[in-house]
Structure 1
Amino acid sequence: MKTIDEMLHLELLTADQHHQISAWIAQADTPDEILKMPSALWQAVERASAVMGIDEDLLRPPAMDAGDLVCG
């Protein structure tokens, strides 16, 4: 929900889109139910995600110079 809120704050979603998407997510019991969101809402999320560069962030390999990060 934080990402959806940020999309609203950045004016990438309208207040109505934000409300509808939030309501859909809140009523969904599983990730599969979220995937059944109406296409117009998915398209709004996809456009906002593209502007925010979310896909690029998810595809970027992890930084190996993370300072004092201890894994494992």
Structure 2
Amino acid sequence: MKKTPYPPKMKTIDEMLNLDLLTSEQHHQIASWIASADTPEEILKMPASLWQAIERASEVMGINEDLLRPPSLDAGDLNLG
């Protein structure tokens, strides 16, 4: 069985905290909620105030734009090795 470190690493919300887009308390509450959720449906039940904090931080970081951007047409030429 793989042992998960506690608190588990949550790169996006960690970055939001480092950029001062979330308070330490919001980060802790969000991380705890996600860590205790067994399913995506349980994550979706997170309190509205925490979702609003994530949405505000996501907007500042431009996350939605990144997700909606069409893939680059030259991505096939990408050489990773």
Which SS does the other structure have where 1:13 is aligned?
A: coil
Aligned-pair distance for 1:64? Answer: 1.3
Q: May I ask how many residue pairs the two structures share in their alignment?
A: 70
**Distance in 2 (alpha carbons) for counterparts of 1:67 and 1:28:** 37
> What residue ranges of structure 1 are gaps of 5+ in the alignment?
none
Q: Which residue, out of 29, 33, 41, partners 1:32?
A: 41
Would you identify which runs of 4 or more consecutive aligned residues in structure 1 move more than 6 Å? none
**Distance in 2 (alpha carbons) for counterparts of 1:42 and 1:65:** 35
Which SS does the other structure have where 1:47 is aligned?
A: helix
Equivalence map 1:3-14=2 (5 Å) = 3-14=12-23
Normalised by the length of structure 2, the TM-score is 0.82
**Distance in 1 (alpha carbons) for counterparts of 2:42 and 2:15:** 22
> What residue ranges of structure 2 are gaps of 5+ in the alignment?
1-9
Q: Which residue, out of 47, 53, 56, partners 2:62?
A: 53
Task: Give % identity.
Answer: 77
Normalised by the length of structure 1, the TM-score is 0.91
Task: Determine the structure 2 residue equivalent to 1:44.
Answer: 53
